[in-house]
Amino acid sequence: MKFPFESIDGMDTDSDSIRFVTLPPVEVGSSTTPSGFFLSEFLKAHIPIVRDAIHELTRSNSVRLAGFVIDMFCTHMIDVADVFGVPSYLFFASSAAFLGFLLHLQFLHDYEGLDFNEFKDSDAELEVPSFANSVPGKAFPSLMIDKESGGAEMLLYHTRRFRQVKGILVNTFIELESHAIQSLSGSTVPVVYPVGPILNTQMGSGGGQQDASVIMSWLDDQPPSSVVFLCFGSRGTFGADQIKEIAYGLEHSGHRFLWSLRQPPPKGKMDFPSDYESIEEVLPEGFLHRTARIGKVIGWAPQAAVLSHSAVGGFVSHCGWNSLLESVWYGVPVATWPIYAEQQINAFQMVKDLGLAIEIKIDYNKDSDYVVSAHEIENGLRNLMNIDSEVRQKRKEMQKISRRVMIDGGSSHFSLGHFIEDMVANIPCKQQRRDT
């Protein structure tokens, strides 16, 4: 599927049992579509194309369709699965806690009249069954409290459809989110299969092998667990004032650092950030010279490779769920700096519910005018790099657990087996096909 913006390459597999089918492009007008609805409408436009592709794949009697596994934003494809008479399963790429959050808020909105805007710029909190602590309104995804974007309606639509699938695969594991997973065991929610951590530790993020080689060589020269790695995801960027505060915070902390700093795309263009042509222009004068012996500022970063390096002792992260799982897998403590999407609620869970992260900010939002001060950043870095912290010890224990759950006898291995058994048991004896 070709998206209407530059995407990150790297979808690849060595397995002979996985086949990729490239779908023809579709056009969806974006000028009158609220931003929150655009992706949903774009995917909806693929319904006839996906239906035809599946029909073509199943023309042979040797191919039996067992079911659909769909992304959380692809719930329109449930209708296609119904045409073929097979069940749908949802793959939820974020946390079980966030899944429970969406389901609970959809219920409160539809049946008790909850207005999400009550939580906009508010100190109000909400009890959510999938969280051990009440969730502050400031940690709600900004899409849910921005009427103009259409994000709340889009999320509500998809969440209602979550309830129509036969099961939900979640990229998590029981030992990490036991409270959240237990809260989802009721009869009103489809069966939840914790099958994570599912990670692509080989894939970069759109950079090059030469860039990675320079970065890894620099890390090779640093002492063990001495480097703070700052990386804010595939869409993480900052304004000039915030960049300067980060620079001063790093310099004053005295810690070694590797900082992935990228420039935003042009305004109005749906694209990914890119590397600066001259990074000196956005940094405080003399910063690179003063920190040359302890720090390195880069553009693109091979995040998984960096986190796996023994020199890295802390990770300042935007708190995307995939990045948080990588930090668990490699046992690297995290300092939270969420930027957009559900990252604020991920940060809240990691700091308050699980005790697996240090807070720099929990409620930071890229669309606000707030600038995190150098003092806040410096304090966060010092707490992050404390070698005796409870967070660091918890991380090491959870790292060991995360490696066990995916092997034979592990909780996620067991859960994945149950999912496969359920799907195979429901293969229709006689495939239903649409008329041609």
Residue (of 346, 335, 339) closest to 370 by Cα position: 339
Whether residue 126 is contained in a domain is answered as yes
Domain annotation covers residue 204:
no
**Averaged over 239-244, what is the pLDDT?**
96
| Predicted pLDDT at 435 | 45
- Please indicate, yes or no, whether residues 272 and 288 belong to a single structural domain of this protein: yes
Residue 223 pLDDT more than 70? yes
223 and 341 co-located in one domain: yes
pLDDT for the residue 192? 98
Point out the least confidently predicted range of 73-77, 116-120, 258-262, 323-327. 116-120
Residue 114 counted as domain residue: yes
Check whether residue 434 and residue 385 sit in a common domain.
no
Q: Does residue 345 contact residue 135 with C-beta atoms inside 8 Å?
A: yes
Which pLDDT belongs to residue 161?
Answer: 98
The rounded distance, in Å, linking the Cα atoms of 310 and 325 is 18
Average pLDDT score over residue span 11-18 = 68
Rounded-to-10 torsion of CA 91, 93, 95, 97:
-50
CB neighbours (10 Å) of residue 216?
Answer: 15
Q: Does residue 351 contact residue 358 with C-beta atoms inside 8 Å?
A: yes
Q: Quick one: tokens of 45?
A: 């436009």
- In-domain check, residue 76: yes
- Domain-located, residue 353: yes
**Two tokens, residue 279:** 């990074």
- Closest by Cα among 423, 416, 417, 415 to 88: 423
Asked whether residue 202 is assigned to any structural domain, the reply reads no
Render pLDDT for 24-66 as a digit per residue (tens, 0 to 9). Answer: 888 776 545 555 567 778 889 999 999 999 999 888 777 789 9
Quote the CA–CA distance of 191 and 209 in Å, as a whole number.
Answer: 42
What CATH number is given to the structural domain containing 325? Answer: 3.40.50.2000
In this structure, are 218 and 186 located in the same domain? no
Query: What is the average pLDDT value for the chain, to the nearest integer?
Result: 90
pLDDT at residue 143 in the model: 84
Q: 165 and 108, same structural domain?
A: yes
pLDDT number for residue 34: 53
* 270 and 159 in a common domain: no
**CA 192 and chain centroid, separation:** 18
User: What H or E segment, with its residue span, contains residue 334?
Assistant: strand 334-336
Element containing residue 79 per DSSP (H, E): helix 77-83
pLDDT digits (tens, 9 = 90+) for 163-204: 999 999 999 999 999 999 999 998 889 999 999 999 988 755
User: Is pLDDT of 325 > 50?
Assistant: yes
Q: Do 370 and 415 belong together in one domain?
A: no
Nearest to 25 by CA among 50, 47, 44, 3: 3
Does residue 243 register a pLDDT over 70? yes
pLDDT at 150: 83
Say if residue 310 is in the same domain as residue 436: no
Domain-embedded: residue 119: yes
Return all residues near 417 (Cβ < 8 A) that are at least 6 apart: none
Domain co-membership, 160 together with 218: no
Give the integer Cα–Cα distance in Å for 24 and 50. 10
In a domain, 333, yes or no: yes
Residue located via tokens 């720090």: 295
Domain assignment of residue 219, given as a range: 209-398
Greater model confidence, 18 or 133: 133
**Quick check: 51 and 76 in contact, CB under 8 A?**
no
β-partners of residue 359 are: 336
**Same domain, yes or no, for 277 and 251?**
yes
In a shared domain, residues 248 and 366: yes
Answer whether the bond into residue 197 is a cis peptide, omega within 30°.
Answer: yes
Least Cα distance to 303 among 277, 267, 334 occurs for: 334
Task: Look up the pTM and report it.
Answer: 0.92
Segment 73-102, tens digit of pLDDT: 999 999 999 999 999 999 999 999 999 999
As for how many domains the chain has, the answer is 2
Average pLDDT, stretch 140-155?
Answer: 85
12 and 84 part of one domain: yes
Candidates 405, 345, 335, 409; CA nearest to 372 is 335
pLDDT at site 429: 65
Distances 342 to 101, 129, 237, 398 between C-alpha atoms, Å:
10, 17, 16, 22
pLDDT of residue 12: 57
Report which of residues 187 and 213 the model is more confident about: 213
